[in-house]
Homo-oligomer: A and B are copies of this chain.
């Protein structure tokens, strides 16, 4: 089985160079061409004759040639890798997995691979990006949960390293991003609660430092002001608050006379926590209060009584992120530098 394939029918060329994988030299020997020519033929360079090109391609296929990525990388300086900064906050509900899945989808037919760079490698998240750049670990970078003046964006803009982020910033320099229309999410969610005749709505906001917190707040406030309804914005908890803490907070708040009877939850975990907390306080969903939640999975749809949800398709986002980053890396002019994905509303709007 590991026996070296014996030359057949008088064949005696040194085809299997060092009994290892076939290289350009192997093909060159077989075809009676120079390595240079083979290299050119395989990369479909224009000056190679059609006949040679086809012959080389055929031989390569027959002997199962695969280019050595390390050699290519050493020579060209391109890694054929894109990296994603994995945020530890997203661990819970498969946020990152969905995005990665989408990215991988976009990379499918290309020569690119996806590597995962957890940001706990360093104290700050900028350092993780720096690490990638300095070690030349990738040709492009993807990251999530942007801040208005995101240090990672600043660094990457400065160094000119190709990147794209999931979420917007407030930098004037244009850079590519994919984002979800969180304004619309919050606006429509709030309007839904109002339509259900709730008299006081509350929103669980993401951590204040994140850009999309502002968008949600804006959407929420717009709907609230339009309707002139009472509202509440809890200050001591947010989307990253551990579920049990959030639950206790909601429970204690629920007993007050001016407690909200409508909640916007921008995530599955917070929605469950709110439901539990209210339940602890003896409040019943759909009777005493309502929730509109954002879901990135299909988890909440299973709940009973049914929670109104607005879906965020993270796999689609990942696919766009990957596609756009590749274009950026290869200097293809992006048709659109920015992409704003539309919320998919799972309840009747009127």
Q: Are A70 and B74 in contact (CB under 8 A)?
A: yes
Least Cβ distance of A309 to chain B in Å?
13
- Count copies of this chain in the complex: 2
User: Could you tell me the distance in whole angstroms from the C-beta of A311 to the nearest C-beta in chain B?
Assistant: 14
Chain B residue at minimum C-beta to C-beta distance from A243: B302
A77-94 interface (Cβ within 8 A of B): 79, 81, 86, 88, 90-94
Q: Does A199 reach chain B (CB closer than 8 Å)? A: no
Which of A149-157, A267-275, A332-340 participates in binding chain B? A267-275
A21 to B94, alpha carbons, bound, how many Å? 38
- Tell whether A298 is near chain B: CB-to-CB under 8 Å: yes
**Contacts A91-B101, A98-B91: A276 and B247 contacting too (C-beta < 8 A)?**
no
Task: Determine the distance from Cα of A113 to Cα of B93 in the docked complex, in whole angstroms.
Answer: 24
Please give me the residue from chain B that is nearest to A101 by CB atom: B91
Q: Are B113 and A114 in contact (CB under 8 A)?
A: no
A118 touches which of B90, B105, B244 (Cβ 8 Å): B105
Select one of B91, B121, B304 contacting A275, CB under 8 A: B304
| Alpha-carbon separation in the docked complex, A117 to B113 (Å) | 8
Q: Are B297 and A273 in contact (CB under 8 A)?
A: no
Chain A: interface residue total (CB-CB under 8 A): 58
A114: contacting residue among B21, B69, B73, B116, CB under 8 A: B116
Q: Which residues of chain B are near A136, meaning CB under 8 Å?
A: 21, 68-69
Q: Tell me the chain A residues, 256-311 only, with Cβ under 8 Å from chain B.
A: 268-269, 272-273, 275-276, 279-280, 297-299, 301-304
CB distance from A332 to the nearest CB of B (A): 23
Q: Report the Cα distance A315→B120, complex, angstroms.
A: 14
In the bound complex, residues from chain B placing their C-beta under 8 Å from that of A88 are 101
Q: Given the complex of chains A and B, what is the CA–CA distance between A173 and B263 in angstroms?
A: 56
**How distant is A114 from chain B, measured CB to nearest CB, in Å?**
5
Which residues from B are CB-within-8-Å of A121? Answer: 104, 108
CB-based contact A135/B94 at 8 Å = no
Q: A211 near B: Cβ within 8 Å?
A: no
By a CB distance below 8 angstroms, the chain B residues around A190 are none
Q: Is A95 an interface residue (CB 8 A)?
A: yes
Interchain CB contact under 8 A, B101 and A86: yes
CB A15 to nearest CB in B, in angstroms, measures 18
Of A97, A243, A273, most B-chain CB atoms within 10 Å? A97
Check B92–A104 contact: CB distance below 8 A.
no
Sample (27) of A-B pairs whose CB atoms are under 8 Å apart: A68-B74, A70-B73, A70-B79, A71-B74, A74-B74, A86-B97, A86-B104, A90-B97, A92-B297, A94-B94, A94-B96, A95-B97, A97-B97, A101-B118, A104-B116, A104-B118, A104-B121, A105-B118, A108-B120, A113-B115, A113-B116, A115-B115, A269-B299, A272-B302, A276-B302, A279-B304, A299-B299
